[in-house]
Structure 1
Amino acid sequence: MALEKLISEGDKQLHEKDYLSAIATFTSALKEAPKALQAFLKRATAYQKMSKYENAKRDIADAFEIANQRGKREDLGECYFKLGLVLYAEKDIVGALKNFERAVEYGCRETTASTWKTKVEYEVKKQQEDKTIPEQNGKGPDSSSASQPQSDQKVGKSDSSVKEKIKDDWYQSGDKVIITVYAKAVKESDVEFKADESSVLISFPISIGSEYQFEINPLFSTIDPQSSGFKVYSTKIEVSLKKKEAVKWSSLAGAEESNTLSNESSATHKPLSYPSSSKKAINWSSFDIQDEEETDKSETDFFAQLYKNTDDDTRRAMMKSYVESDGTVLTTNWEEARAKKFETSPPEGMVAKKWDSKT
């Protein structure tokens, strides 16, 4: 099979979250062309999606060697960008920033490289500011207050002691769907797992009087609950759902999804959007970019870095595209943005998550 066809097939499998098949396809591509830079970088993306970060970094290291041999700055820039995404997924935001800076310096082809650089600069600055908060009541600053990408599900905070930030992700093979919940030091005996043909629920305590609960009802397609289950690791819980039919899932949830994350203290949980948590419908044509009702100060500071030397229409386009896409699309063309509804579209190598900057 021609290299281009294998790359195209692997791209499709990545889009469908069939990461195991994508890895196999890009491996076949590398057998045909051992110096195929894109096959290494795309296989690294598939490994990253499965949280196999060391595998991803090995592929990126091979890509760096090929890029150095070619001597093309944009190839090196793309390698730096991919490594930045892996480090960001590992929560090494300082290391990620250094690589995003190099990616921009080397002319990375990825159009969102500059946006990622600005975004992570903001996070590093915010984290450094949080570390300078004076001690209160004998307690130092809480490192969890730094901005981090979050899933659509959020942990309730009616109890001030609840500080955990739980993320989740999923991928699929031909006959299984794997859901990963990233939580450290959870005891298997504390985990409650329930599944039937059309729903799944997993819950466990996260602090005294608080409980994390992840529920999908209905699922995208039916499963075999008897062949489904979970495993607890030191840093995550992995849920394996056996498909009843060998079909590709385009999402975890079906048409009438009911994702629930609750707390035993009966807190109300509402997903937040970045950069604005406002639920009001926004008239973008007349939107005032200085409106404090729509953005808090920290968010305004973030956009101030992008707004320099731009007119109001450019700013509206940037704000509208960024808000509607949960921070994954940034355009400066108001004529394009005016009538367009922007969907969440993260760059290759990242999972679409909503970001709560107020945590």
Structure 2
Amino acid sequence: MTLAETIRVELGGRSYDVIVGAGLLDQIADLAGPFLKSYATRPVPIVADVNARDHHGPRIEASLAKAGFEAVWYDVPSGEASKSWSGLEKLTDWLLSLGVTRSDHVFALGGGVVGDLVGFACAILKRGCGFVQLPTTLLSQVDSSVGGKTAINTAAGKNMIGAFHQPSLVLADMDTLTTLPDREMRAGYAEVIKYGLLGDREFFDWLEANGAQVLTRAHKPLQHAIATSIRAKARIVSEDERETSGARALLNLGHTFGHALEAETGFSDRLLHGEAVALGMVLAARFSARRGEISRDDAARAAQAIGTTGLPSQINQLGLTCDGARLVDHMRHDKKMEGTGTLPFLLLKGLGEAYMARDVALDDVAEFLDEELA
């Protein structure tokens, strides 16, 4: 079996390790030892997706018990609805009732919803305490658990209230993916292929040849895909932690189109986030081809690499009843909207070469979407 890999996210005094491998939760007491010391006489708070706790809680409890620690659990219902003001209030009240201090670390077990919620709670609890990410989905392992973006959703939109708050450690245990439904696995794969499309043509080519093995959870290809994705994100986050220079914005490839589709489908299970990003990347590639920036063959190749995995690659597959103008209206609420009334778009100059376009007319986007919806 391939040995675990450690990837360092270099952020000066906020640097941390991301460990990728199998069986990591069985070793949590050793791997996260420095972040457990403050709990010598108190239970360790673990906030968990209810399904993740059912599957993986016993492994964590066994490791902690062997080292003399006890876990205390806070269950979070699955789904985006948990990332709310009320969800945040209940969680922070629970943490305060436990007497969590600024020197403590809270553990987050689950996908992106739990990681975002716990990260934001820890960012504001007593003006900031530590947390450890234990991502249990492919999407959270390669994307949301790394980089420090934390948030909740509001009536105004997704992730509108949040903070940058880096974890102290991320343990990406590949064994957690064995219980992941195939649909969730594909949704996470969208974020994997994103790293190839936005800046690594060689990785994109590798995924074309090996993507099927990644999705069937073959150990060596899966670990390579996860570690390569995390290294790419770590480099970008190290360069542009708070998305001020433009480098980190590249990670939003597919997200502007994707968030509009999520909004139109009510941020529901009708369209998972990864599925929306996948289709958003296809639309970004096709829109880039429409502008003459990449060839239509390259746009078709991107769509095929996504579509052959079972991810959506045609907007008319969704059965939407809206028009392009309505989708563009959703985009106007995007948190990346600038004060000038313009919205930057991540587009492609080639496979593996994304860039930020600031000259995109939203009327042109609406017309393009009408064509795609037809």
TM-score, normalising length: structure 1: 0.27
Larger Rg: 1
- Flag the structure with higher helix content: 2
TM-score, normalising length: structure 2: 0.26
